[in-house]
Amino acid sequence: MRHVYSGKVRDVYELDADRLLFVTSDRISAFDVVMAEPIPDKGRVLTAVTAFWASELAGVAPNHIVEVGVPAGADLAEVGLDAAYAEGRSMVVRKADMIPIECIVRGYLSGSAWAEYKRSSTMHGQSLPAGLRQSEKLPEPVFTPSTKATSGHDQNISFEEATGIVGGKVASAAREIALEAYKLGSVRAAERGIIIADTKFELGFIDGELAICDEILTPDSSRFWPASQWEPGTVPPSFDKQPLRDWLEATGWDKAPPPPALPPEVVQSTRARYVDAYERLTGLSFDEWPNGGQRSRPPSEARGA
Ligand SMILES: Nc1ncnc2c1ncn2[C@@H]1O[C@H](COP(=O)(O)OP(=O)(O)OP(=O)(O)O)[C@@H](O)[C@H]1O
Ligand SMILES: [Mg+2]
């Protein structure tokens, strides 16, 4: 095994020519800056949520998951990974040739789409009906891709611009998979009282077929709202990191590193929100997830040592 990549959240190791070990850390980023403090168990929650959706959405498209968990015989120590740390946050995936766009689907008008609509009555360059309010349900879910910036912020783009990046055939196939996955996910989430306002999929080619990769419908990649608290014209409380973003904004931070230190109560409430999102979405108990019930961990583990 060898370490090949660390993103803002995931540490990626190569197992062999076809397979990667994805280890999801407890790092949390906001405004594309990684906070200094980890959110305990966050990586386990993201792994658990992704595993749940991978099986729910199996009929929509192939996905990159080979096996959830650390593969038998993997020498974690070789890459400096602690076995207890890796437990519950690891999955073996197929290496994919990732397409260089983010496959966002929006069912509700929020975030950067709301900001653009207020400015120009458009969403990713497409015009929308007049008079929509913040958080309003869109007439139809819309595929609203963005660039996948290698550094800095991703840019919202139109479908035509996506076509220019990946070609018309791939853009259309990606749109179809992303919309189907969003729609099915939304139906499942609605059964549990949750609205998926928007989400981001990352797709890649595996054996010549477009597959759902990366994380799937997690609180990091999605805006989840409790359906009972959704009201157009307001911003529903979300399970995602919006409360963290709000806290950061209130500090007056300029969004350039280093970020302000997160107080323990912000860390704890963020952890609780992630766990709550998992349990509400799946109806499962996080205590039952590998190492999920453990509340305190040695500091070495929190750092991902
Ligand atoms: N099956 C796969 N094969 C190859 N790469 C993948 C696969 N699934 C996801 N990825 C990529 O692995 C990385 C996961 O790391 P992580 O989510 O931490 O990155 P990120 O911070 O979101 O993005 P960045 O790449 O900008 O650092 C992403 O770049 C993602 O596109
Ligand atoms: Mg990512």
Contacts of 195 (CB under 8 A, 6+ apart): 107, 108, 186, 189, 224, 225, 226, 227, 230, 236
Q: What is the pTM of this model?
A: 0.94
For the chain, domains (ranges, CATH) are 2-97+259-266+274-297 (3.30.200.20), 99-247 (3.30.470.20)
Which numbered ligand comes closest to the C-alpha of 97?
1
Question: Angle 264-282/42-56 helices, nearest 10 degrees?
Answer: 20
Residue 65 beta carbon below 6 angstroms from any ligand 1 atom: no
Quick: pLDDT tens for 87-123: 999 999 999 999 999 999 999 999 999 999 999 999 9
Residue 292 beta carbon below 6 angstroms from any ligand 1 atom: no
Quick: pLDDT tens for 49-93: 999 999 999 999 999 999 999 999 899 999 999 999 999 999 999
Quick: pLDDT tens for 153-211: 889 999 999 999 999 999 999 999 999 999 999 999 999 999 999 999 999 999 999 99
Residue 102 beta carbon below 6 angstroms from any ligand 1 atom: no
User: What is the pLDDT, as a whole number, of residue 241?
Assistant: 83
Beta-bridge mates of residue 108: 137
Residues 149, 8, 227, CA angle at the centre, nearest 5°? 90
- pLDDT surpasses 50 at 304: no
CA of 132 to the centre of ligand 2 (A): 30
Q: Which residue minimizes the CA distance to atom 9 of ligand 1? A: 214
User: Among 10, 47, 49, 147, which residue has the most ligand 1 atoms within 8 Å of its CB, making it the best to mutate?
Assistant: 10
The mean pLDDT of 230-238, rounded to a whole number, is 93
CA of 231 to the centre of ligand 1 (A): 34
The HSE-up count of residue 80 (CA atoms within 13 Å, CB side) is 8
pLDDT confidence tier of residue 243, bands split at 50, 70 and 90: confident
Residue 123 beta carbon below 6 angstroms from any ligand 1 atom: no
Residue 95 beta carbon below 6 angstroms from any ligand 1 atom: yes
CA of 7 to the centre of ligand 2 (A): 7
User: What is the pLDDT, as a whole number, of residue 189?
Assistant: 98
User: Among 22, 29, 202, which residue has the most ligand 1 atoms within 8 Å of its CB, making it the best to mutate?
Assistant: 202
- Residue of 11, 6, 37, 21 lying closest to 302 (CA atoms): 37
Residue 10 beta carbon below 6 angstroms from any ligand 1 atom: yes
Average pLDDT, the chain: 94
Residue 7 beta carbon below 6 angstroms from any ligand 1 atom: yes
User: What is the pLDDT, as a whole number, of residue 239?
Assistant: 83
